[in-house]
Amino acid sequence: MLVLGMMSGTSADGIDTAMVKISSLPPAAGAPANLKIKLLNHTSQNFPPAIRKEILRVAEQNPLTPAEFSQLHARLGQIYADAALAACKKFRISPRKIDLIGNHGQTIFHQGSPTTFLGAKTASTLQIGDGSIIANLSGITTVSDFRPADIALGGQGAPLVPFADYVLYRHPKLGRVSLNIGGIANITVIPANAKPADVFAFDTGPGNMLIDALVQHFTRGRKRFDDAGHLAMRGSMIPALYEELRNDPYLKVAPPKSTGRERYGRAFVESVIALGRKHKARPNDLIRAATNFTAGSIVDALRRYVLPKHNISQLIISGGGARNAFVLALIAGWLTPDVQILYSKNFQIPVDTKEAVAFAILAYETFHQRPSNIPSATGASGPAILGKISYAPHK
């Protein structure tokens, strides 16, 4: 099958689209699907500024009427459909030749751990962008809304990319960790010769989200991110400020765990800016502290929950944060030298495209009525077939 995987992450920067050729052989009894995966092309496009502004406003838990929610859900469906058709045009392929779309949607709320709501313990997650609209406007059957099935079985609904990491990176002799640095940073641990039940994964804390927010704040929106970490490199290290950031309680929560803008959004950014004032930090000093915090929380997660129990030979990095040279230098400096650092591009997948490829793989599995959560990663009580299928109209 030819599958378009579509991903728009926590930073709401835009939509990454990957065209992936996927085939499968019948698996042995009890074994995972034997998938053959080839990335054929990829592209990305930004959200219109007004749409991005509204996504971020809503994701920060600002008030939204039912009418506004309904309209935003439908409008994003239109935008995803347009992005799919624009990708086909760029790839010079007819949409009729695309068998399936896997669209993650835009997360505007994620509560992976149950809290009391109206008298019952409840967990929920909300990714918007109507799959029926995508399918009918693009003419391509669409799988969307992947996370709730895992939450229904007691999982966190995240991370879901570990299934794809397992398919892409498992190795008979090498233990590997896949690190994706998006708005949130997450890792997938794939021991040597792992079976799916041996894989575990979790969100380590903020990825680019905190750094990006500080850059946008201090440049008054003129810059959206710290290109290659240059601003952080110009800052001075303030140890007391960094120590306060390192005391973030999320880092001490044992996996499975997941997080998002609910924790590391505007309120957290404002608390970090207040910390900066307390320690008399200049803007670049604070950006440096946030960059150290991102890298430090990733390394802390590896040291605390992974390296004591597993022999890891390679760390494979993807996501927008893989373009931040300062973050990468910090990770490399703090890790033991026997862990080799590689990038998804070493496996023919550009660093910005891995998660879009992942949702193509998840959609393919859903279409074939196979589960693709990894319960040891999400905490679910068992396997779940993820997502909802919206069929294309009959020609």
- Per-residue model confidence as pLDDT tens digits over 339-363: 999 999 999 999 999 999 999 999 9
> Which of the four pLDDT bands, split at 50, 70 and 90, describes residue 236?
very high
CA within 13 Å, CB half, 128: 20
Is 38 in contact with 21 (CB distance < 8 Å)? yes
User: Whole-angstrom Cα distance, residue 101 to residue 81?
Assistant: 10
Lowest mean pLDDT among 10-19, 245-254, 309-318: 10-19
Record the pTM.
Answer: 0.92
The pLDDT score that the predictor gives to residue 29 is: 60
The pLDDT score that the predictor gives to residue 358 is: 97
Instruction: Please report the sign of the dihedral spanned by the C-alpha atoms of residue 339, residue 327, residue 20, residue 393.
Output: positive
* 3-state SS, one letter per residue, for 142-170: EEECCCHHHHHCCCCCCCCCHHHHHHHHC
Instruction: Name the token pair of 2.
Output: 């030819």
What is the percent of the chain with per-residue pLDDT over 70, rounded to a whole number?
98
Tell me: the pLDDT tens digits for 137-183?
A: 999 999 999 999 999 999 999 999 999 999 999 999 999 999 999 99
- Residues 227-254, mean pLDDT to the nearest whole number: 96
Instruction: Name the token pair of 225.
Output: 């991110």
User: Whole-angstrom Cα distance, residue 42 to residue 110?
Assistant: 28
Q: Which long-range contacts (CB under 8 A, 24 or more apart) does 325-329 make?
A: 325/228, 325/229, 326/226, 326/228, 326/229, 326/230, 326/232, 326/233, 326/291, 327/181, 327/229, 327/291, 327/294, 327/295, 329/229
Least Cα distance to 170 among 189, 187, 190 occurs for: 190
> Which of the four pLDDT bands, split at 50, 70 and 90, describes residue 30?
low
- What is the phi/psi pair of residue 209, to 5°? -60, -50
- Residues 176-191, mean pLDDT to the nearest whole number: 96
Burial 361-393 (b: 16+ CB within 10 A, else e): bbbbbbbeebbbbbbbbbbbeebbebbebbebe
The pLDDT score that the predictor gives to residue 33 is: 66
Tell me: the pLDDT tens digits for 84-111?
A: 999 999 999 999 999 999 999 999 999 9
Least Cα distance to 269 among 218, 214, 327, 229 occurs for: 214
